[in-house]
Amino acid sequence: MKCANHPDKDATVQCLRCNNALCDQCAIPEEGE
């Protein structure tokens, strides 16, 4: 699966709010998550 914002990068997580796949550069952990 590729990052929703960076199609050239592999996704490492999925957003719990929007369900988009995200790479490490895009993923911002929320407090308690």
Mean pLDDT on 18-32: 91
> Sorting pLDDT into bands at 50, 70 and 90, what band is 29?
confident
Paired with 8 in beta bridges are none
Token code pair at residue 29: 């952990």
DSSP 6: -
Region 12-24 average pLDDT: 95
DSSP H/E element including 21: strand 21-22
Over residues 5-21, mean pLDDT: 96
- 33: pLDDT strictly greater than 90: no
Q: List Cβ neighbours of 1 (8 Å cut-off, separation of 6 or more).
A: 10, 11, 21
pTM score, whole prediction: 0.75
Residues 16-28 have a mean pLDDT of: 95
14 in Cβ contact with 22 (< 8 Å): yes
Q: What is the residue-averaged pLDDT of the chain? A: 93
22 DSSP β-pair partners: 13
